[in-house]
A and B are shown apart, each in its own frame.
Chain A
Amino acid sequence: MTQLTMAKSINEGLRRAMADDPRVLVMGEDIGKLGGVFRITDGLLDEFGAKRVIDTPLAEAGIMGTAVGLAFRGFRPVVEIQFDGFVYPAFDQIVCQVAKLHYRTQGNVTMPITIRIPWAGGVGAAEHHSESPEAYFVHTSGLRVVAVSNPQDAYVMLRQAIASDDPVVYFEPKRLYHQKGEVDLDMDVADAPPMGVARVAREGEDVTLLTYGAQVATALDAATAAEDEGVSIEVIDLRSISPVDYRTVTASVRKTGRVVVTHEAAREAGVGAELIASVTEQCFHYLEAPPVRVTGFDIPYPPAKLEKHHLPDLDRILDAVDRVLDRPNSLTTAEAGS
């Protein structure tokens, strides 16, 4: 085991995947000499050369569309989208081409493309640099969508994403890039839990708290705080948000009877909506209270000085926990005051 930042663990994941398979190549803006704006591809150009570490023109549709052609040719491109909010120009190529070609060709053409997206907020960035577009991709059949929350998963799941014959949108939370954790670089990736399997990040009895990505850390903080108030929260790190591991999710909900979902992305038609709909379908008779979502607001991502109000924090999560436990909360306070 080694102590690594998430940034370094992703870098190692890329390096080892490229060393193991000569058909793996990485491409994107500034990923060569600069090593990427977050230095995730640092050192790869020197090690693998310009034919496998491709600095591209500044054109996201171009990057994604040429990756499709390379996949047609039998390569396994790993594409870096520089920032979450820059993925939209590539949207057509992702949802119409990358996602659909295997289906359109009746399985004859595979698209083993990994789309890495530095993702979400909390780092005080400029406009278009803190977005959470995951629901668009979750809604698109043919894609797998994962979100990592720690250096170990970042390493293993990247290796699994690159090895997968399906296209994988791989969300890496920017605000965790410099967080360190234990990483076993020499583990057999094939023996690791598959990327589609959720992880019970903390066991609990009273409330199931579903989340993914950087929000896992906030959820764990909330669980620790709730413990002081005698409430036991089970935190589930989904890891994969398409498909969702409902076996793990529903087992937890059947145990606790209460559900809170939290994510940074806006609420309407978001991943939380899908989670609660599915949980309600599958566990309705086990539910003791209506599930609650704690999400970003339905607004464009706010300016950096205000983002802390948008991002669901520990207190908003605890307020939702109080709601599902029918304890005094912001709504009952408001009602009493009116």
Chain B
Amino acid sequence: MTMMHTLSPTADHATDTDDVARLITPDGERLADRELDPWVADVDAEALRGLYRDMTVVRRIDTEGVALQRQGQLGLWAPCQGQEATQVGTARAFRADDFVFPSYREIGVGFVRGAAPADFVLAWRGEAHSTYNPYDLNTATPQIIIGAQALHAVGYGMGITFDGTDQVAAAYFGDGATSQGDVNEAMVFASSFRAPVVFVCTNNQWAISEPVTVQAKFPIAGRAPGFGIPSLRVDGNDVLACLAAMRWATDHARTGNGPVFLEAVTYRMGPHTTSDDPTRYRDKDEVERWRRRDPLARVEALLRRRDEFSDEFARDVAAEADRWGAEVRAATLNARTKEPIEILDHVYAEPHVGLDAQRADFAAYLGSFSDAVAGGEAR
């Protein structure tokens, strides 16, 4: 088995955030890495600026989402600030025909896969559970049940092998999800069937209020080899390392070597969702330490060291991000709430006499209001 580990020896504790594969330091210094460098040999300054642009737009969408929730336009929002490098870096490694099974926080993955402005907000607004056709983006509806999508990715990956194609399936989940049976069963199935699946564990240090040490005493990436799955622990705030790791992982899976597990070590800067209060469960110093490892600032620092980050570029990116923010806002404010009767649509693919009867009753009930109005006017 081809195996690729992080620094050797592997960290003793799940909280050791520096025992990771890294290509850019928090200060913007480019590190050499014999194993990862070949995977990003083509990434020049322009490509790096592209990754910076992606992350900036994602951050803007995220900021807009929080604001819209605070203004009462969205019922809830799950912020991704701090995780942009993990999401953009890994998602940029996919082919369009690969199939991705994300969780509800993968805003950057959705952006890279081609989601429209409305796709980021209408589910949180409560207009629809899913706003896009999964087959248009080759991306499943964001999953809320923790870890369930890991099995879906494996099943899809098994199907890829049955069909004899060279696509890859991927599942995104958090550190908390690794305690779930579904994720562990997914690794058993993936290993047993040699499914072309990449598991991306976004270890953002917190599962709502529970620190990663409640889920793991040992780095999570260390579990996968026990299932026969090679793994890599990567700096999740280093977009270049995330891209390299994912290119390695997708290539491994695509070329018939079975599943791969990535643990992206990052930090969720905001709350779990807009409903919780992280000041209750974590201290300011920790947040400030992570702020100094910001994934966007890191790429900017590297580009500035190389004199590849101009004020004009920064202005262009900011303008593009603002355009996205405005479009997300417009999509929210212009949302059309479906007609009441549509609540009954799509429960079944084929006619269902029980639901058809309820639909008829509900239609009659709804119709009774217009009759009442008409009657009132007549009087």
Contact = CB atoms under 8 A, between A and B. Distances in A.
A245 B181 CA distance: 38
B349 A73 contact: no
Contacts of B155: 65-73
B133 interface: yes
Given A70-B159, A243-B355, A166 B151 contact: no
B286 to A, nearest CB: 33
Contact of A107 (B101, B181, B188, B346): B346
Interface stretch (A80-88, A89-97, A225-233, A306-314): A89-97
B133 A72 contact: no
Interface stretch (B24-32, B68-76, B84-92, B134-142): B134-142
A69 B157 contact: yes
A96 B133 CA distance: 19
B354 interface: yes
Given A104-B129, A108-B135, A73 B151 contact: no
B188 A141 contact: no
Given A61-B181, A107-B346, A70 B189 contact: no
A97 B155 CA distance: 13
Contacts of A166: 348-350, 352
Interface string B336-376: 00000000011111101111010000000000000000000
Contact of B148 (A67, A97, A102, A107): A97
B186 A97 contact: no
Given A101-B141, A102-B346, A141-B347, A69 B148 contact: no
A242 B354 contact: yes
B166 interface: no
A164 B134 contact: no
Given A61-B151, A102-B349, A242-B354, A108 B133 contact: yes
A149 to B, nearest CB: 20
B164 to A, nearest CB: 10
Contacts of A67: 155
A338 interface: no
Contacts of A107: 345-346, 349
A147 B157 CA distance: 32
Given A96-B148, A244-B354, A73 B159 contact: yes
A96 B151 CA distance: 13
Nearest to A96: B145
A68 B181 contact: no
Nearest to A52: B162
A245 B345 CA distance: 21
Interface string A304-330: 000000000000000000000000000
A333 interface: no
B134 A106 contact: no
Interface in A147-206: 164-166, 196
A97 B352 contact: no
Contacts, number: 150
Given A66-B189, A72-B140, A109 B134 contact: yes
Interface string B171-211: 00000000001100110110010000000000000000000
Interface in B58-75: none
A101 B347 CA distance: 9
Contacts of A103: 129, 346-347
A69 B185 contact: no
Interface in B93-146: 99, 101, 128-130, 133-135, 140-141, 145
Contacts of B349: 102, 107, 110, 112, 164-166
B260 interface: no
A25 B158 CA distance: 12
A62 interface: yes
Interface in A106-157: 106-110, 112, 141-142, 144
A89 B162 CA distance: 26
B253 interface: no
Contacts of A93: 148, 151, 182
Contacts of A106: 128-130, 133, 345-346
A52 B162 CA distance: 8
Given A107-B349, A242-B354, A243-B354, A61 B141 contact: no
B348 A102 contact: yes
Interface in A45-70: 51-52, 56-57, 59, 61-62, 64-70
B151 A65 contact: yes
Nearest to B135: A108
Given A106-B128, A107-B345, A65 B134 contact: no
A75 interface: yes
A245 B148 contact: no
B158 A69 contact: yes
B350 A65 contact: no
Contacts of B181: 59, 61, 89
Given A104-B129, A165-B350, 12 more contacts: A62-B185, A65-B185, A69-B156, A72-B155, A74-B159, A75-B159, A97-B145, A101-B141, A105-B129, A106-B129, A112-B349, A164-B349
Interface of A: 25, 51-52, 56-57, 59, 61-62, 64-75, 89, 92-93, 96-97, 101-110, 112, 141-142, 144, 164-166, 196, 242-247
22 contacts: A59-B188, A61-B151, A62-B151, A62-B182, A62-B188, A62-B189, A65-B154, A66-B158, A68-B151, A69-B151, A69-B154, A72-B99, A72-B159, A73-B159, A93-B148, A97-B148, A97-B152, A103-B346, A165-B350, A166-B348, A243-B352, A245-B353
Across the A-B interface, the 5 shortest Cβ-Cβ residue pairs: A69-B155, A65-B151, A73-B159, A66-B155, A243-B354
